[in-house]
Amino acid sequence: MAHRDGIVKAKTRRSKRFLQSREPKLTEGQKSSMIIRGGNSSETVSQALKDVYALKKPNAVLYKRKNMVRPFDDSTALEFFSKKSDCSLFLFGSHNKKRPNNLIFGRMFDFHVLDMFELGIERFVSLRDVKTDTCPEGTKPLLVFAGELFETDREHQRLRNLLTDFFCGPRVSAVRLAGLEHVLHFTALEGKIYMRSYKVLLKKSGCRTPRIQLQDMGPSFDFVMRRNHMASDDLYKTAHRQPRGVKPKKKKNISHDAFGTRLGRLHMQKQDLDKLQTRKMKGLRKRRGDRGGAAARGFFFTDSSGF
């Protein structure tokens, strides 16, 4: 696919910009996600997909029509969609008798499936049912994971990484302190994952840091872990490989001290201090045959000055 983009030249500047935005870059921007409905989906699943779409609004694509896709058997259709819409995260919802209210969270690397986790919805409270005001679109949420399973179990670790990838917003260098409004809390307990979403209220406390109060908001899910497809270790490692230009190169022999001054270090060879070349002072130069008469001459000068 990349070869075709080089051979087929863009005819307008707009199309050239579009193609450039889809090329791989050194530092990547935000990942966009596609939300797809399966062949058969229940009311719960449809509402759940709409709620997640609302959470991820600017960088998500909601596919309106139903697609007969089985991600665990054949992922070529998903890969085709991802190539067309340039999305690397996906959420696939379906419903059948064997697996009711099924959601599959997944991510792609180079338009091939990297990880997929199938979670079943046991209990779901939608955005509509909770009557509080929500925070504006596109706020970066605070993510909290609780439960020792997220640390000990390998599958849970990978799921934690996937959920971070899915729900963390754009990579920012600074955040407005008053704008931390949304928190997503994931709890892992006995093979089930409880996802809750709260609105953060910053109350006055005695000192600078505010006291937190939470208000129920947004969708809340009770997930149960079903199948999963995790990437092999070497594929996972390849996906993490960073290009060379990203890390700033450390300059050697330069340090900063406590006052902020920049100190450098020079490495010299060993020097013989007797043979050091210093400033030449003509008067101090040793002349031939002068050593005996120096004292006399000095005497002579002082004599004349007193004159």
Partner 1 sequence: MASCSFEDVLAKAERDEAEKLKGITVSKELDLEFDPGNLLAFDKNRIDTREFKDCKREDFLRSLARDNTQLLVNEIWKLPTERVEEVLVAKLPDPTTLLPREKPAPKPKPPTKWEQFAKLKGIQKKKKTNLVWDEVHKEWRRRWGYKRAKDDTKEWLIEVPENADPSEHQFNKRNKAKKERVARNEYNRLKNIARAQKIKVPGMGLAPTPRQSKAELAQAVNVAKISTASVGKFQDNLPKEKTPKNTGKKRKFQPLIGDFSSEKQKQLDLLKVMDSKKPRLDVTKAVNKQMREEDMESRHKNKKDFGKKGRRGKMSGKGKAGGKGPKGKGRKPQMKQGKR
Ranges within 248-307 binding partner 1 (CB under 8 A): none
In the complex, least distance from residue 214 CB atom to partner 1, rounded to whole angstroms: 5
176 lies in the site for partner 1, by CB under 8 A = yes
Q: Which is nearer to partner 1, 244 or 291 (CB)?
A: 244
CA distances from 245 to 26, 27, 166 (A): 7, 9, 26
Q: Site for partner 1 (CB under 8 A): which residue of 38, 106, 147, 219?
A: 147
**Total residues binding partner 1 (CB under 8 A):** 72
In the complex, least distance from residue 9 CB atom to partner 1, rounded to whole angstroms: 8
Q: Site for partner 1 (CB under 8 A): which residue of 12, 64, 97, 190?
A: 190
In the complex, least distance from residue 92 CB atom to partner 1, rounded to whole angstroms: 18
**119: which residues sit within 8 A by CB, 6+ positions away?**
102, 103, 104, 105, 193, 223, 224, 225, 226
In the complex, least distance from residue 47 CB atom to partner 1, rounded to whole angstroms: 20
In the complex, least distance from residue 193 CB atom to partner 1, rounded to whole angstroms: 12
The CA distance from 33 to 104, in Å, is 13
10 lies in the site for partner 1, by CB under 8 A = no
31 lies in the site for partner 1, by CB under 8 A = yes
Burial environment of residue 241 by CB neighbours within 10 A (0 to 12, 13 to 18, 19 or more): exposed
**Is the separation of the CB atoms in 201 and 76 below 8 Å?**
no
**Is the separation of the CB atoms in 215 and 196 below 8 Å?**
no
79 lies in the site for partner 1, by CB under 8 A = no
Q: Site for partner 1 (CB under 8 A): which residue of 58, 243, 293, 298?
A: 243
- Region of 91-99, 181-189, 250-258, 298-306 interacting with partner 1 (CB under 8 A): 181-189
Residues in a beta bridge with 104: 92, 118
In the complex, least distance from residue 290 CB atom to partner 1, rounded to whole angstroms: 59
**65: which residues sit within 8 A by CB, 6+ positions away?**
37
Q: Which is nearer to partner 1, 179 or 293 (CB)?
A: 179
DSSP letter (8 states) at residue 145: E
Burial environment of residue 153 by CB neighbours within 10 A (0 to 12, 13 to 18, 19 or more): middle
Q: Site for partner 1 (CB under 8 A): which residue of 68, 207, 281, 284?
A: 207
Residues in a beta bridge with 211: 203
In the complex, least distance from residue 195 CB atom to partner 1, rounded to whole angstroms: 10
81 lies in the site for partner 1, by CB under 8 A = no
The CA distance from 210 to 206, in Å, is 8
93 lies in the site for partner 1, by CB under 8 A = no
DSSP letter (8 states) at residue 86: T
Q: Site for partner 1 (CB under 8 A): which residue of 131, 241, 265, 275?
A: 241
- DSSP for 94-126? E--SSS-SEEEEEEEETTEEEEEEEEEEEEEE-
212 lies in the site for partner 1, by CB under 8 A = yes
